[in-house]
């Protein structure tokens, strides 16, 4: 099942995608795709609905972030062996964790703002894991039961802020618009193996990233369990699980985003995003 949120920013309504690719409204059935409404029990109730009787939503409506009520976005760095090689760093012995501000969350097709003073804004297509049930000190064997589903994430990153401005990575990761989520929250039952998905990203029609989640160093079950050892994962939280090679920083010469460009990205079975880059006001 593909769940989504649609409408103007800050006023999104819940919906789902039917078998013909049309948006159906869940307004009046669930208040939003957040909190306990991301649990297995709630998702099963939605699955039992007669989708054909749900109201159709007009075509071309804006899609919002596919999940609401996110208390934190947890990034995992250097989690693809081929990306670590591209960056010229050793494969980490444990997952590298950083945080992205919740104010960085946007819809999948909203504009990406190039921050003031930025010269090195970069792209990263990533598999997002959406938490559906509180997780604290859980085992790898229990990880999947805490996952509501998956989504596409563009982990937009300003490299000079991240790597040249002292401190931790967070400076370059949490700028406004740096976490487009969606288009859909695809429930975990639809994804047989999250470690066997193709993912890609293009800028102005040129494909820079073309990888597979099979080259992750730490898989989904490991990451959910690992992060839960350090913080409680709450329903609606998102773990963005790292990126394959092909980022702008890894090009020779390096390539970075500037206003007026088009970024397209997608993951097998999870849909696509398209963003325009604009200068931050």
pLDDT in tens, 19-35: 999 999 999 999 999 99
Question: Is the model's pLDDT at 249 over the cut of 90?
Answer: yes
Average pLDDT over residues 74-84: 89
Whether this model's pTM surpasses 0.85: yes
pLDDT, tens digit, 9 for 90 and up, residues 38-67: 999 999 999 999 999 999 999 999 999 999
The β-bridge relationship of strands 2-6 and 185-187 is: antiparallel
Residue intervals of the chain classified under CATH 3.90.850.10 are 73-279
pLDDT, tens digit, 9 for 90 and up, residues 148-165: 999 999 999 999 999 888
Residue among 169, 111, 153, 176 nearest 237 (CA): 153
d(CA 268, CA 212): 9
d(CA 173, CA 251): 20
CATH topology of domain 73-279: Fumarylacetoacetate hydrolase; domain 2 (3.90.850)
DSSP 63: B
Burial class (CB in 10 A: 0-12, 13-18, 19+), 58: exposed
Question: Is the model's pLDDT at 94 over the cut of 90?
Answer: yes
Check residue 48 and give its pLDDT: 97
Please report which confidence band the pLDDT of residue 169 belongs to, taking 50, 70 and 90 as the band edges. confident
Average pLDDT over residues 98-103: 97
Q: What's phi and psi for 143, nearest 5 deg?
A: -60, -50
Check residue 87 and give its pLDDT: 74
> What size, in residues, is the chain?
281
Measured from the Cβ of residue 232, the count of other Cβ atoms closer than 10 Å reads 14
Question: Is the model's pLDDT at 166 over the cut of 90?
Answer: no
pLDDT, tens digit, 9 for 90 and up, residues 216-226: 999 999 999 99
Question: Is the model's pLDDT at 86 over the cut of 90?
Answer: no
Check residue 90 and give its pLDDT: 83
Average pLDDT over residues 99-126: 97
Check residue 104 and give its pLDDT: 98
């Amino acid at each position: 099942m593909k769940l989504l949120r649609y409408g103007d920013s800050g006023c999104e309504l819940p919906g789902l995608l039917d078998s013909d690719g049309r948006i159906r409204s869940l307004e009046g059935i669930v208040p939003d795709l957040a909190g306990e409404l991301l649990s297995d029990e709630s998702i099963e109730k939605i699955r039992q609905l007669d989708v054909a009787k749900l109201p159709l939503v007009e075509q071309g409506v804006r899609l919002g972030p596919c999940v609401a009520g996110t208390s934190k976005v947890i990034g995992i760095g250097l989690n693809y062996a081929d990306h670590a090689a591209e960056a010229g760093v050793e494969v980490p012995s444990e997952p590298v964790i950083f945080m992205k501000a919740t104010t960085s969350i946007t819809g999948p097709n909203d504009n990406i703002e190039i921050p003031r003073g930025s010269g090195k804004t970069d792209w990263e297509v990533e598999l997002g894991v959406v938490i559906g049930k509180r997780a604290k000190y859980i085992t790898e064997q229990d990880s999947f039961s805490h996952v509501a589903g998956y989504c596409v994430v563009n982990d937009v990153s300003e490299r000079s802020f991240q790597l040249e401005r002292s401190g931790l990575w967070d400076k370059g990761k949490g700028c406004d618009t740096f976490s487009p989520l969606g288009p859909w929250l695809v429930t975990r039952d639809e994804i047989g193996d999250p470690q066997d998905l193709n993912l890609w990203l293009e800028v102005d029609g040129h494909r820079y990233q073309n990888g597979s989640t099979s080259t992750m160093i730490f898989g989904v079950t490991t990451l959910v369990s690992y992060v839960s050892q350090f913080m409680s994962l709450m329903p609606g939280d998102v773990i963005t699980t790292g990126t394959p090679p092909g980022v702008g920083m890894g090009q020779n010469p390096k390539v970075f985003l500037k206003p007026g460009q088009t970024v397209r990205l997608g993951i097998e079975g999870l849909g696509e995003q398209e963003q325009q880059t604009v200068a931050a006001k």
